[in-house]
Copies of this chain bind each other. A is one copy, B any other.
Amino acid sequence: MNNKQNTDLVFRQKKVQVAIEQAGVSACLIASNVNLYYLSGTIFDGYIYIPAQGDLLYFVRRGSLDAVPESQIFSIRKPEDIPSVLEGMGLSLPKDLLLEADQLTYNECMRLKAAFNLLSFDNATPLLRKLRSVKSAWEIGQFRISAAKHAQAYSTIKGAYHSGISDLEFQANIEREMRLLGSIGAFRGFGSSMEIFMGSILVGDNASTPSPFDFALGGGGIHPSVPVGANGSILSAGKSVMVDMVGNYTAYLSDMTRVFSVGKLPDIAYRAHQVSIDIQEAIALQCRPGASCAELYELSVAMVKEAKLSEYFMGTKQQAKFIGHGVGIEINELPIFSPRSRDLIEQGNVFALEPKFVLPGIGAVGTENTYLMGEKGLEKLTIFDESITIF
């Protein structure tokens, strides 16, 4: 870990400590992989104890931690060992502790509650999610690496096609190119409704099949145990091919969708596709720190209505009620661009906008890009030709 990265880590830790102090609690105990990575730069099996004041302490069951001072690392066998380590250091046990109540299981939380002899505890998850939504300089650099490789992977997509190919073979070819470019493979999401593999390819009417998962569009999938994405459709004339594969080349995920086709599509496809691009440009003009994500969502709905495409917006049989979402170590971070969102844009937010249309008999069109709310306005991180590309 280099110096720049280390300074940034300390900055992120400090940010969490300030928030803990402002929340009026003594400390926070972290155990989820996402937050462990955010606050230590690695995944290990253990816990991070973050007091409002003083040093962070790392309790490690398994794994190694290179980026933090050795004096702050303690080897433990079980979480019940933590309080006695704290007491051994002359620290008093916190009476109020934040635990990740939306990430840890019920029993994990109850075990920690008992270990610290707490009467109750508050939820660390929303606090961490909110802090993680404002990205630091180093984190933004990680997105840039992911987005550049993402574009490089998408430049191989035309080569992944051959006449008569199925969506599954097409996806397998793209996945291989992604892996050769350094895709980490694994893919994190918040909640249990994010089971998917490397992303999704939707060909023709498969795009209109609803899915129980929380993605913008669905797809039937190949098995009822993972009902989402490619379903064995053949790429053929007049069907759109929507490619929405993840940019997991660092821990920070870029999100980008592009559309391909075998020969020309009907005119409505190009018209709807252009509305998607126009919506993103309109949002980019309006987007500034303090802007309401719900209002930006409504802007997109108004533009779709104006274009008389409402019935195709974000699906047909099941219409997703959001057009964008924060990205980070998880694919579904804050802010959320939905009708009821109370999120306001902050400088340092990184999010994906994905106003998409599903056209019966044709399939899905529209692009998705990952944006940074920078000092000088909204910056698109996923730079790659946005037109519907004919194979």
Contacts and interface: CB of A to CB of B under 8 A. Distances in A.
Contacts of A125: 107
Contacts of A106: 99, 101-102, 104-106, 108-110
Interface string A204-240: 0000001111000000011111110000000000000
Contact of A107 (B102, B193, B251): B102
Nearest to A188: B195
A69 interface: no
Contacts of A43: 195, 212, 224-227
A318 interface: yes
Interface in A103-120: 103-110
B42 A225 contact: yes
A33 interface: yes
Contacts of A370: none
A313 interface: no
A168 interface: yes
A164 to B, nearest CB: 15
Contacts of A212: 43-46, 61-63
**Copy count, this protein chain:** 2
A46 B179 CA distance: 34
B184 A197 contact: yes
Contacts of A285: none
Contacts of A41: 224
Contact of A185 (B32, B176, B197, B251): B197
A329 interface: yes
Chain A: interface size category: 35 or more
A89 interface: no
Given A44-B212, A106-B105, A179-B175, A63 B186 contact: no
A318 B46 CA distance: 16
Contacts of A185: 196-198, 226
Given A105-B106, A212-B62, A225 B184 contact: yes
A250 interface: yes
A131 interface: no
Given A62-B210, A210-B63, A179 B184 contact: no
A369 interface: no
27 contacts: A37-B224, A42-B224, A43-B212, A43-B224, A43-B226, A46-B212, A62-B210, A63-B212, A99-B106, A105-B106, A106-B106, A168-B182, A169-B180, A171-B179, A172-B180, A173-B176, A184-B221, A184-B223, A184-B225, A185-B196, A185-B197, A185-B198, A186-B197, A188-B195, A223-B250, A223-B251, A225-B250
Given A45-B213, A102-B106, 11 more contacts: A41-B224, A62-B210, A62-B212, A63-B210, A64-B210, A101-B105, A168-B180, A172-B179, A175-B175, A224-B251, A225-B251
